[in-house]
């Protein structure tokens, strides 16, 4: 299993996906302009889900 992965289910299929905090960290580390925009959006989503 992927480190920091969470398990989810959609349409009857279970799968692993990266956690929101890890996704934010990865995109910040990549530091491409589109990823830095995504970081801002993902951080806003994270605040809403706390």
This prediction has a pTM of 0.77
Q: Which residues contact 7 (CB under 8 A, 6 or more apart)?
A: 14, 15, 16
Residue-by-residue DSSP string for 13-35:
EEEEEE-HHHHHHHHHHH--HHH
pLDDT given for residue 15 in this prediction: 94
Tell me the per-residue pLDDT of 1-50, one tens digit each, with 9 for 90 and over. Answer: 567 789 999 999 999 999 999 999 999 999 999 999 999 999 999 999 88
pLDDT of residue 21: 92
Q: What pLDDT does 50 receive?
A: 83
pLDDT in tens, 14-27: 999 999 999 999 99
For 10, the token pair is 């959609």
What is the pLDDT at residue 41?
97
């Amino acid at each position: 299993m992927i480190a920091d992965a969470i398990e989810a289910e959609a349409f009857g299929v279970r799968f692993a996906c990266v956690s929101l905090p890890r996704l934010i960290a990865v995109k910040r580390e990549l530091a491409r302009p589109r990823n830095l925009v995504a970081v801002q959006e993902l951080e806003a989503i994270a605040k809403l889900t706390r």
